[in-house]
Structure 1
Amino acid sequence: MKIIISNTSKEPIYEQIIKQIKELVLKGELQESDSLPSIRQLAKDLQISVITTKRAYEELEKDGFIVSVVGKGSFIASQNKELLKERRLKIMEEKLIEIIEESKIIDLSKEELIEMVLILYGDDVI
């Protein structure tokens, strides 16, 4: 498991960890029952505070992404694929709303925005 921390990001370190672990689960790179590094080991590997790593793991457990077993460690929890997809769709919708608002600010037409999406997605045009 590779986690990269950006010191220049405005996002707190614990949120960067949470986001990256969730992405690994959503992509299927981390599967149910896979073990995570211990809180201390991850803190050491990332050269961050144990408190920061502990907070990230607690949030991941609260969100149902991991389970912690006393004396054994933390593991990827069983995931409902449809629920994961819904969570991801909600995030995408929020980003799309932001993009639509930005496009309206610069008077980009709906057609121009759709064309841009198609090009970026890899399709030529409608």
Structure 2
Amino acid sequence: MRIVISNASGKPIYEQIASQIKAAIVAGELSEGERLPSIRGLARDLRVSVITTTRAYSDLATEGFVANVQGKGSYVLARDADLMREHALREVESHLSRAVDAARLTGVADADVRTALDALLAADEDSDTTGESR
């Protein structure tokens, strides 16, 4: 697992760490029961404070992605289908929200946004039935 931190990003470093670990779990790059790097080791590797990595791991545990076992480390929890679906839905909503913001900023009508979304969904359905990818 590779974590890349950007100081130019408007996102706090602990959120960058947590979101990249979440993405690796969702993508199956990290499997159930797999041990994450130690908090101190990850902090050293990323050249950030232990407090930052502790916060990232704590947030991951709160969201149900990992279990933090005192004195033993942090381990990836089983991927709950409902949790994964909820995570994916939040990601989609976030992207759609940015698209709507961009459309409103540039004066694109809501009807045109709906038409564009319908066209994208239809194109995806067509590629599913023909076996072709977009």
Q: Which residue of 1 aligns with 2:52?
A: 52
* CA apart distance, 1:105: 3.6
| TM-score, L = length of structure 1 | 0.82
Whether 1:3 aligns to 2:6 is: no
Q: Pairwise CA RMSD of aligned residues?
A: 2.3
* CA apart distance, 1:79: 1.9
Structure 1 unpaired stretches of 5+: none
- Change in CA separation of 1:110 and 1:29 when aligned onto 2, cut-off 3 Å: same
Distance 2:77 2:114 in 1: 42
Whether 1:31 aligns to 2:34 is: no
Q: Which amino acid aligns with 1:37?
A: P
Q: Which residue of 1 aligns with 2:43?
A: 43
Higher helix share: 2
Contact 1:103 1:113 (8 Å CA) reproduced? no
Distance 2:55 2:113 in 1: 42
Moved over 2 A (4+): 104-118
Aligned counterparts, 1:40-119, within 5 A = 40-108=40-108, 109-110=112-113, 113-114=116-117, 117=120
CA deviations over 1:77-101 (Å, ceiling 9, x no partner): 1221232122211221232133124
Q: Which amino acid aligns with 1:68?
A: N
Structure 2 unpaired stretches of 5+: 128-134
* CA apart distance, 1:103: 1.6
Distance 1:11 1:19 in 2: 10
